[in-house]
Amino acid sequence: MSNDIQSTEDHPAPRRKTYLNILLLLPFIALLWVPFYNDSKPAFLGFPFFYWYQLLWVPLTSLIILIVYKGNK
Amino acid sequence: MPTTLNLTALLVFLGFFALVTIIGFMASRWKSGDLTELHEWGLGGRQFGTLITWFLVGGDFYTAYTVIAVPALVYAVGAYGFFALPYTIIVYPFVFLVMPRLWNACKKGNHITAADFVQGIYGGKWFAAAIAVTGILATMPYIALQLIGMQVVIQSLGVSGEIPLIIAFLILAFYTYASGIRAPAMIAFVKDIMIYIVVIAAVCLIPSKLGGYASVFDAADQFFAVKGGVTGTILQPSQFLAYASLALGSALAAFMYPHTMTAILSSSSEKTIKKNAILLPVYSLLLGLIALMGYMAIAAGIKVSNNSEVVPALFAHIFPAWFVGFAAAAIAISALVPAAIMSIGAANLFTRNLWKPLVNPNITSKQEAQNAKLASLMVKFGALVFIIFFPTKFAIDLQLLGGVWILQTLPAIVFSLYTKRLKLPALFIGWLVGISVGTALAFVQGLKPIYTLSIGGSAFPVYIGLIALVVNLVLTLALSAVLPQKAEQLSGNLGTAN
């Protein structure tokens, strides 16, 4: 897999940085390593850890993808 | 569940339903295009920008079945049912990386379906047909389940029988025929806003009436403890691997389905897709909260004979009649949007990848569009007949199998975007074995999604779709390595971005 993009009329082909893509693995690691978050404590606003941790990864994942998007431009 | 007629709710419901029907028909004039061309009818002319795509994919991916089935599962088995949340989170990095490439390849090659794309690279027509058949078979039970979700909410308003479903289907069929994907795209605006209102109201209001979230979780804890403690508000260690593999397998399959694929291919650019990968997760937040309604139902003392009735029962218990009607309309419309796109996606596959190559290769583009419109009608009709004559369990079982099957198209679709070294026979065999293994394991398990692998004396419960995919991939890669490279694959513009 090369990092070059072919030139087209719409997109000149600068060298795209793709090293940031590794950040995209974080949500996978965070959410698929279940033993890590399978706990009720510490609770937050009445939510057991299991729930607020997973819910938190929604905005975190958006943020990570945003960072990669901006960084890759 | 016989319910007395809730007239206020029903009138509100009908009002919103009528509104959405009108929108569906008006949609044909929106972002005008020649709807006698398949790429206009089936992909909206690839004109949908970031906001429309957000509403469309959101409305398509988060369905009525989501709102009904996820809380029902959480109500029944607790934390295990929550896998839908990590699943709908990890799907987005994948969408961000992979889908823009696929979009680009399809734009360049003028491909309307995933099977078109596969054929564009590997040639032939049989493997593309196999991909198409997989997509169609995976989609049909999914449509059926949307109709079931709709039936559940209509029944909760006190209206029973098949007539409402048939009427809803007819309306859906007509405006989809007339407007193609523009119809669900426009309706998705209304539907998504309604669902957000309903869910935000539910997750703010209901816990406050039940003593706060801590009380809700406590009540759920006690409920599961009383039931014997096999499940609870957190997982048992024996459930960890099943939970993670369900999340991963579902995430990988999610955008292989024709309806999500079609919604993505209707985008106007790669950038649209990337921005949506950032913005769509908001719906997942909603989904996480929707899931918790299962616990809210427990805390509210809701008892139902059929778990699918949990959400309508909870709403009826807590909300005033007019809001119950509004919520019912939101959920019913949440069935129509994906059902429309699913039928369009399936129809595109039928026409492009089954009818044209195998029956009428000389079909003109106008005939293609006409063929797809008819196919879309047949697909919906088939789903309706299915619901009326077969028990719900069938649809659920087929949906499980469909998920396993569609996942087997991932090597051909995704890996082809990154390497030119896969060979058609290898892919075909990998697909076939994956489907066979997945189906066999599912039947062995009585159509449950998890199979326990025994490796070195330890038990590993893994989602069957994932097991089949691994077998599929290993075979595909191994055979590709040993089979000779075909001359056609080395030359020519294959339309893939590298």
Q: DSSP 3-state assignment of B113?
A: coil
Q: Which of A50, A61, A66 to mutate to test the interface with B (most CBs of B within 10 A)?
A: A61
**What is the model's pLDDT at position A7?**
46
Q: What is the rounded CA–CA span in Å between residue B310 and residue B67?
A: 10
CA distance linking residue B66 with residue B112, whole number of Å: 27
Contacts with B248 from chain A: Cβ below 8 Å:
28, 32
**Would you say residue A9 has pLDDT above 70?**
no
Whole-angstrom distance, CA of residue B361 vs CA of residue B357: 5
When CB atoms are compared, the residue of A6, A45, A66 closest to B278 is A66
* CA dist., res. B468 & res. B435, Å (int): 7
CA gap B431, B405 in Å, rounded? 9
Distance CA B292, CA B160 (A): 28
CA distance A6 to chain B (A): 8
Per-residue pLDDT at B227: 86
Our CA-based measurement puts residue A72 at a distance from the nearest CA of chain B, in whole angstroms, of: 11
Upstream peptide bond of A14 is cis (omega within 30 degrees of 0) = no
Chain B, 313 to 372: residues with Cβ < 8 Å from chain A are none
pLDDT at A19: 81
Asked if the C-beta of B242 comes within 8 angstroms of chain A's C-beta atoms, the answer is: no
Which of A23, A29, A58 is most worth mutating to test chain B (most B CB atoms within 10 A of its CB)? A58
User: Would you give per-residue pLDDT tens digits along chain B (498 residues)?
Assistant: 446 778 888 999 999 989 988 888 888 787 777 778 888 888 887 888 898 889 888 888 888 888 999 999 999 999 999 999 999 999 999 999 999 999 999 999 999 999 999 999 999 889 999 999 999 999 999 999 998 889 899 988 888 888 888 888 888 888 888 888 888 888 888 899 999 999 999 989 999 988 999 999 999 999 999 988 888 999 999 999 999 999 999 999 999 999 999 989 999 999 999 999 999 999 999 999 999 999 999 999 999 988 999 999 999 999 999 999 999 999 999 999 899 999 999 999 999 999 999 999 998 988 988 999 999 999 999 888 888 898 888 888 888 999 999 999 999 999 999 998 999 999 999 999 999 999 999 999 988 899 999 888 888 999 999 999 999 999 999 999 998 876 554 444 444 443
Q: How far is A10 from chain B, CA to nearest CA, in Å? A: 11
| CA B472, B277, B143, B39 torsion-angle sign | negative
Q: Is A43 on the interface with B (CB under 8 A)?
A: yes
What does the pLDDT read at residue B254?
94
pLDDT for the residue B25: 85
Kindly write down the DSSP assignment for every residue of chain A, as one continuous string.
--S-----SS---PPPP-GGGGGGGHHHHHHH-HHHH--S-S-BTTB-HHHHHHHHHHHHHHHHHHHHHHHH-
Asked if A52 has any chain B CB less than 8 Å from its own CB, the reply is no
Min Cα distance B278 → chain A (Å) is: 5
In this prediction the ipTM stands at 0.89
Written as six digits, the tokens of B97 are 């990386």
Query: How many other C-beta atoms lie within 10 A of the C-beta of residue B291?
Result: 26
Q: Look up tokens 């990386």; give the residue.
A: B97
Both tokens of A16, joined, read 């795209």
At B250, list the tokens: 């579902």
> Distance of CA B48 to CAs B92, B112, B145, B267, Å?
19, 15, 27, 5
Return the residue of B nearest to A2 by Cα. Answer: B498
> What are residue A20's phi and psi, to 5 degrees?
-65, -20
Which ranges in B319-423 belong to alpha helices (H)? Answer: 321-349, 356-358, 365-389, 392-407, 410-414
What distance in Å separates the CA atoms of residue B452 and residue B28, rounded to the nearest whole number?
50
Helix (H, G, I), strand (E, B) or coil at B267: strand
Q: Quick one: pLDDT at residue A17?
A: 65
Rounded CA gap, A60 and B164, in Å?
Answer: 42
